[in-house]
Amino acid sequence: MSVQTLSLPSSSSRRMEERCMFAFLRLTAGLNVLVLGLICAYLMWNGLPVLSWSFLTEAPRNMMTEGGIFPCIIGTAILSLGALLIAFPLGVASAVYLNEYAGKSRSAGIIRLGVNNLAGVPSVVFGLFGLSFFVTFLGMGVSILSGVLTLAVLTLPLIISTSEEALRNVPDTYREASLALGGTKSQTIARVVLPSAIPGMLTGAILGVARAAGETAAVMFTAAVFFTPKNPSSVLDSVMCLPYHIYVLCTAGTEIDKTRPLQYGTAVVLIFLVLGINAAALVIRDKLQQGR
């Protein structure tokens, strides 16, 4: 009986394959950064000349062809930060249950499957859900509260996934040391595990805020209006917001050519707002990591 020997690839060929794969990954990442840079540069080129103090502090006027976007900035900040205040505690609590209590049980697997599926649902589906449930069924109307709750539901799966991953990265030795010193499970989670995982959880919060601030479909059915002359005075008032304002200027205006510069200016402000929120969250996360 003949014995066949398997020929293994040489170390030089493996190194060549590794170099080719890393080169391909670098090329792909570089192309993504290049495309993003070109888009941002195009928006900046057309939008920066529009930016001024009056553009940032005045309300739209003269059929949206003049004025500024101050009500839109206020509305976007309220909706995105309000959604974060609701979704972040719920997401962290859900992640703690899944990772620290449910473990690898069958129910936890079903919950994780549902969370992963919800993370891939288009935002317009969440908008229709908010319209049918919060706006119509609960009678909240087109309001800040309806928009905040809809955006919270939209960002919740992302926050749960990233928070659970942050908890999973906390070494088990931290838990074992706390339990060995006489701490209960709840005390270990509150005083040892969560402080160690908070920097990673903030990554999910950053992504959630960025997505909430840029959503159009989720708020156009629940919170945003074409125009409102006053700032909101309660959570049951409707608001203007930057993404929906861009959509209105591009599609629903009677003089779209006159509003073209305002479209680019509004898009630039939205980019700066998202970058500012992300930068603030990154600074907070870095300080928490340094304090560990």
Tens digit of pLDDT per residue, the chain (292 long)? 455 555 556 677 788 888 888 899 999 999 999 998 999 899 899 888 888 888 888 888 887 778 889 999 999 989 988 999 999 999 999 999 998 888 788 888 888 888 888 888 888 999 999 999 999 999 999 999 999 999 999 999 989 999 999 999 888 898 889 888 888 888 999 898 998 888 888 877 887 888 888 888 889 999 988 888 778 888 899 999 999 988 888 887 667 777 888 889 999 999 888 888 777 777 777 776 666 5
User: What was the pLDDT predicted at 36?
Assistant: 86
User: What was the pLDDT predicted at 1?
Assistant: 47
User: What was the pLDDT predicted at 7?
Assistant: 55
Q: Ramachandran region of residue 62, left (φ > 0), alpha (ψ -120 to 50) or beta?
A: left
User: What was the pLDDT predicted at 132?
Assistant: 93
Distance of CA 236 to the CA centre of its chain: 24
User: What was the pLDDT predicted at 227?
Assistant: 84
User: What was the pLDDT predicted at 105?
Assistant: 82
Whether the Cβ atoms of residue 89 and residue 208 lie closer than 8 Å to each other? no
Entry pTM: 0.85
